[in-house]
Structures are given as structure tokens and as C-alpha cells.
Amino acid sequence: MEKKVIVDGSAQLTSVSGPALPGAKLEDVRPQSAAMTWKVQAQRLQKEAHVFYFVFKHPRTRWYARLLAVCTFGYLLSPVQLIPGFIPFIGFLDDFAVLYLGAKLLKRITPPDVLAECQQLADAAEIRRKEEIRSTAAVVASVVIAAVWLLAAMAASALMAQYLRR
């Protein structure tokens, strides 16, 4: 069983039988909450998407890598798919498979120096995005837009259901 030793705000993992530091508190190591794991995964996915955007825009990216990126994202946005998206779970499974395979193949056919440069650009963009101050008006506007979109989607669904009942 491992314990977490906290000294001056920094956490270190040690075993129970390991040496304890004077003045340190011992806490059980608990697995991260599911929400934190999902948040980290979403941030990682967002960073990967940003890297692929920079790869697509990079002047030394080969034409077939750009074609692969366009086809992958075109399939995701296309209304015509192998398995329709409205089928629960299975409908999204083919989207994830296409995205996963497209990303793996794009990483493989992109020159390593271009990929490294694009990862650095994505890191710099992430730092800039975290440093920029989000205004209250922008947050309120995005919430209002999302709420209007959600209400419109619910109204359209209700109208479709009412039309189909007739």
C-alpha cells in the first residue's frame, strides 16, 4: 500500500515502510475521481485536435496527409455514415473508430520534425489560451447561445413528434 507524503505543498509517493520526512502528513492515495479523469482526457483530446490543426496548416505537410485529415473530419461531420449517429452507442462507435484510425495514420505519415513543431505550437497556444482573461460578457453570451440552441433542438423534437403522431 502506498501513501502520499505532502511536504510544502508538493506530493510525493512513498511506500508505507519508506522513510517519513519530519513534519510531513501521510494520506492514503485514492484514485482520481472519474470527473477529473474525464476532464484530463478531454483536455488531452483538445490538445491533439489542435496539433492536427497545425499539422494540416503546416507548409511541409504532404498532400496525402491533408487529404486524410479532410476525409476523416469530413466523415465525422457528414450526415451520410455507415452506422447512423442516432443509434445509441453503436452510432458513435464508428465515429470514434474513424477518428482514432485517422489520427493514428496521420501521426504515422506526418514527418517527425513537423509533428514536433506542431506540438510545440499547440503547447504555446494552450498557454496563451490559459493566460487570456475571459470576459463576463463572453461567458454569458456562450451560455445564452447554448441555451437557445438547446431550446430550439427540444422544440424541433417536439414538433417532429407531434407531426409523426398525426
Clarify whether residues 92 and 49 are in a common domain.
Answer: yes
Report whether 110 contacts 59 (CB < 8 A).
no
- C-alpha grid cell for residue 83? 452506422
**DSSP character at residue 92:** H
The tens digit of pLDDT for each residue in 48-99 reads: 888 899 999 999 999 999 999 899 888 888 877 778 777 778 878 888 888 8
51 occurs within a structural domain: yes
Q: Tell me the average pLDDT across 13-27.
A: 47
Q: What's the pLDDT score for residue 130? A: 74
Q: What's the pLDDT score for residue 89? A: 80
Q: What's the pLDDT score for residue 29? A: 47
CA dihedral in degrees (91, 96, 102, 105; nearest 10)?
-130
Q: Tell me the average pLDDT across 31-42.
A: 72
Q: What's the pLDDT score for residue 93? A: 83
Clarify whether residues 5 and 20 are in a common domain.
Answer: yes
Q: In sequence order, what DSSP letters do the residues of 102-146 get, joined into one string?
A: HHHHHHHHS-HHHHHHHHHHHHHHHHHHHHSPPPHHHHHHHHHHH
Clarify whether residues 71 and 18 are in a common domain.
Answer: no
Task: Evaluate if residue 25 carries a pLDDT over 70.
Answer: no
Clarify whether residues 58 and 99 are in a common domain.
Answer: yes
Q: Tell me the average pLDDT across 116-125.
A: 92
Clarify whether residues 66 and 85 are in a common domain.
Answer: yes
Q: What's the pLDDT score for residue 67? A: 94
Structural domain boundaries, residue 123? 36-132
Look over the chain and give the mean of its residue pLDDT values, rounded to a whole number. 78
